[in-house]
Chains A and B, each alone.
Chain A
Amino acid sequence: MTADVSVPNDTPADPADIPVDALPSRGPLWKRLPVVRQLRTSVGLQRGMLVTGVVITAIFLVTAIFAPLIAPYGGSQLRSGSVAFGAQKAPSAAHLLGTTVGGYDVLSRVVWGTRTALLVMIAAVVLSIFLGIFLGLVSGYFGGWIDRVLVVVADAIYAFPSLLLAIVAAIVISKGQSSMWGGILAAAISITVVFVPQYFRVVRSEVVRVKAEAFVEAAKVIGTPPARIMVRHVLRNSVRTLPLIVTLNCSEAILTLAGLGFLGFGIEPSAAAEWGYDLNKALSDVTSGIWWTSVFPGVAIVLTVLGVTLVGESLNDLADPRLRTRRAAGRRGARAAVQSEVDVVEVDPLDAPPVADEDTSTGRTGSHDETTGGAR
């Protein structure tokens, strides 16, 4: 008999259908982590975008984590010793980026602001992810009236401008309180309200798709209870696009937080440093030629959003085989590739082909692994 060679009915209409590889040899765990994997497979401009994004994001993270070591002063510090910093001082040796109208050190405010942004990002994404996934799973799997009600509610939330919704949520939640955690949670929860429908929708549509797959029916046929089907079979196959949405939502969270702060619904300056608030206070400085109070927090917002968005967009492009660019064929010689494949493929003794000089087992499954890999 001959080798089992599994290929979609061999009409490679687009690159997604092209025979990919034999047994994808699984490397060590760190090479299969979401971002690391994409870094290794990307080429050209896409790789440049991803690397830029990763570097900016890494700088952001390091700054946030080591803020006490990096910042010369505390975020709400007004004086060193007994000497006040003074307001609207130009950049100098003592204050590298100058001071604000309120008498804070701009550099310290920018550095400490990364911490606030990171905390809000984490809190907002964690809260909305759990709620969104749960609702999406239940709604998509069971359907019926629960599904209809939840979809209508999600659509209704979409209908509001998200910033307006966040303002209302901030007022309802914090009621003018302004401690650091109170402010961060208020901002995070108000962002959550906007994000939950997004996760809900994505997860729900994936669940509806996965629910119709044969392996879910296979589970039903053997009498698997619904809860087990949902957790074991549907959930893990429905969350593969989430890493992308998470990165994109992180940048949106920063913008919403800054927007809230700019409008005065954010965190009080004495509780924690926050870029939106600083920008608001710097408004009047701009006309009087004091540029340093507005430029640096603004640059911080732009860079952070840019970094996270670049990572997200690159992941998005790389996850889609049709958008992903590859190295041109034949550059390293087909022979070498065939050779390496033989090393990977263990020819099943039962399916060994009669003329098995080389075995090029191929399959769509390879590209399938590509897309599910992120969820593992």
Chain B
Amino acid sequence: MSAQEPVIDVRDLKVTFATDAGDVAAVRGVSLHVDPGQVLAIVGESGSGKTVTARSILGLLPETALASGAVVLRRNDDAASSDVLSLSPSRLREVRGRDAAMVFQEPSTALNPVFPVGWQIAEGLRAHRRLTRAEAHREAVDVLRRVGIPDPEERAKHYPHQFSGGQKQRIVIAQALVLNPGLVIADEPTTALDVTVQAEILDLLRRLPEEFGTAIVLITHNMGVVADLADQVAVMYHGRIVEQADVRTLFSAPQHPYTRALLDAVPRVGGPRLRPARTAPVGETALTAAPSTGAPVVEARSLTITYPGRFRRPGFTAVDGVDLSIHAGEVLGLVGESGSGKTTIGRAIAGLTPVTGGELTVLGTQVRGIHERDFRAVRRRIGFVFQDPATSFNPLLTIAACVAEPLLVHGVAKDLDAARPRVDELLEAVQLPKAYGDRFPHELSGGQRQRASLARALALDPELLIADEPTSALDVSVQARVLDLFARLQEELGFACLFISHDLAVVDLLADRIAVLHHGKLVEQGTGAQVLGAPQDPYTQRLLASLPVPDPVEQAERREAWRALVTR
């Protein structure tokens, strides 16, 4: 294989963007090549230049970009190779799709909603080859079958919204494969998908080199995905490749300090926990038994939340008869895929979404049907950390003003100046320099903002903290820092916490107990060791098996276990 010419050969690629603040160098001299049938993973954090590198392979850079170097792409029939950067627009159009194709991150936006999927695949064919409509359609159906869409003759006539997220991503992959390109560039192909669906798509991508002879450039920040799929790994940092090695070497003996830090930061299920296991009082091991330590902070009994339907359709039940309780000082991890109702439960506890059935008691107050006025007293005892730190701060207020808001609203401090000592104290508690209080939110990085968000949530010393996916918008090393801080603050302040996440490994780091949600129903709950060590419910088992671990050897074994579980 190595005797063959590489499919893509990138030599000293440099990309610079013109922005209002002057030029920004996104890629600073990257060289890499991919042999036929190989999978190269480019990993790195946001802003490391990995997407820009991949996009320049297809000449997909915006007008403001200036690229230099060479990107030599071989034709799919081995006839010739060409430098993508110097091609004319019409020649570039020929190359795209034929020699290299792209799989995008978000399958729901990569497909045009007003055309049938078969037509969309055939469109790519007809752009490159002279085919009749029927021939193109036949080939489209054929490629749909090969990517595992059941009943492709019928399904080719369907529109994108009639497919699930995973199937849509299969269609996008089919679209990329239909011209049989030598190279497929997959830009975070599974980031938008749930973990069980991700496992299926990874399985499909793994088959591509064997069945289609396609090389893959995989862009991802998920080390588990890398371990699962890649042959070669290139680690990018600030526009440069800092380390390049085959996958086993990289994971077993990382050379560069950045790679080591990156790997250390990845949370693993069953790995070392951030918090000591709670010394559970006697009798709490049995979950049904009420603990002796006072009333629970949150108690839900057959909690049901229904969103009203539109146009005489029945409403959508997001949460269906959930029983759970959070005791003082306890961290409950709530896990589930998108649409499982985990965020809805968090919002209901915070009084943002009305409860429609069952009972929900928060800090001794029945929430169902409560008036906003009566709930205000409860609100000052609840803290909330939002998912996206970029949008959860008013962009026109300084960090200090944002953190001081709870103090001002509840009359603890008269004005901003009076609140400032407490704000400084809080910023210090979340390890932000005091001077950051005078900055505006956009002047902080994502991790810093999320720490400020934590400071705001803790401003009134809440008894209950609700954290809704607090780290899912952050890079993995930043996530590790925020989680670390979180665990320490929880220990110091002793608040009860509902920690919502889709990431089993993250929840395992923090939670005393874990509750697993599936389609609005609570399928399993128990301590971390119980739920993740010996899952009882088939859904939990599948969830756990789908999770790729950042270790290529272990992941190969797990993959087999997953296959057995799925085909069972």
Contact = CB atoms under 8 A, between A and B. Distances in A.
A337 interface: yes
A368 B52 CA distance: 21
Contacts of B402: 215
B530 interface: no
Contacts of B395: 215, 237, 368-369, 372
Contacts of B440: 369
Contacts of B375: 223
Nearest to B480: A1
A365 B396 contact: no
Contact of A20 (B21, B238, B376, B478): B21
Interface string B455-497: 0100010000000000000110110110000000000000000
Given A1-B480, A225-B409, A366 B19 contact: yes
B240 to A, nearest CB: 9
A83 interface: no
Interface in A171-219: 213-215, 217-219
Interface string B396-410: 110000100110011
B24 A21 contact: yes
Contacts of A372: 395-396
B285 interface: no
B47 A19 contact: yes
B443 A223 contact: no
A223 B19 contact: no
A284 interface: no
A349 to B, nearest CB: 8
Interface stretch (A56-64, A130-138, A299-307, A322-330): A322-330
A281 B281 CA distance: 96
Given A2-B45, A4-B478, A21-B21, A348 B410 contact: no
Interface stretch (A5-13, A152-160, A287-295): A5-13
B390 A233 contact: no
Nearest to A324: B20
A12 B448 contact: no
B306 to A, nearest CB: 20
Contact of B242 (A9, A215, A328, A355): A355
A213 B390 CA distance: 10
B261 A2 contact: yes
A302 to B, nearest CB: 34
B409 A228 contact: yes
A333 B66 CA distance: 11
B424 to A, nearest CB: 16
Contact of A19 (B24, B188, B445, B456): B24
A278 B237 CA distance: 70
Size class of the contact patch on chain A: 35 or more
Given A214-B392, A220-B352, A372-B396, A329 B105 contact: no
A361 B26 contact: no
Interface in A307-330: 326-330
A224 interface: yes
A24 B22 CA distance: 11
A163 interface: no
B46 A9 contact: yes
B82 interface: no
B163 interface: no
Interface in B87-137: 104-105
Contacts of B239: 360
A243 to B, nearest CB: 15
Given A4-B445, A6-B445, A329-B65, A337 B25 contact: yes
Contacts of A23: 439, 443
A355 B237 contact: yes
Interface size class of B (residues with CB under 8 A): 35 or more
A17 to B, nearest CB: 9
A37 to B, nearest CB: 10
Contacts of B443: 23-24, 365
Nearest to B442: A365
A370 interface: yes
Given A9-B105, A11-B105, A330 B66 contact: yes
A4 B446 contact: yes
A2 B66 contact: no
B48 interface: yes
Nearest to A8: B46
Nearest to B237: A355
Contact of B46 (A5, A215, A328): A5
B442 A366 contact: yes
A362 interface: yes
A340 interface: yes
Contacts of B261: 1-2, 354
A333 to B, nearest CB: 7
B384 A355 contact: no
B38 to A, nearest CB: 23
Given A214-B392, A223-B376, A372-B395, A18 B19 contact: yes
Given A9-B188, A328-B66, A372-B395, A2 B477 contact: yes
Interface in A214-261: 214-215, 217-225, 228, 232-233, 236-237
Interface in B325-371: 350-352
A122 interface: no
B51 interface: yes
A223 B409 contact: yes
Nearest to A223: B379
B24 A332 contact: no
Contact of B51 (A4, A12, A333): A12
Given A2-B237, A10-B51, A340-B22, 15 more contacts: A2-B45, A4-B475, A15-B62, A217-B386, A218-B456, A221-B379, A326-B20, A330-B23, A338-B25, A348-B433, A351-B447, A355-B258, A358-B238, A359-B238, A369-B395
Among all A-B residue pairs, the 4 with the closest Cβ atoms: A21-B21, A4-B445, A365-B442, A6-B446
11 contacts: A4-B475, A15-B63, A215-B402, A217-B352, A222-B379, A223-B406, A330-B18, A353-B258, A355-B238, A358-B238, A360-B47
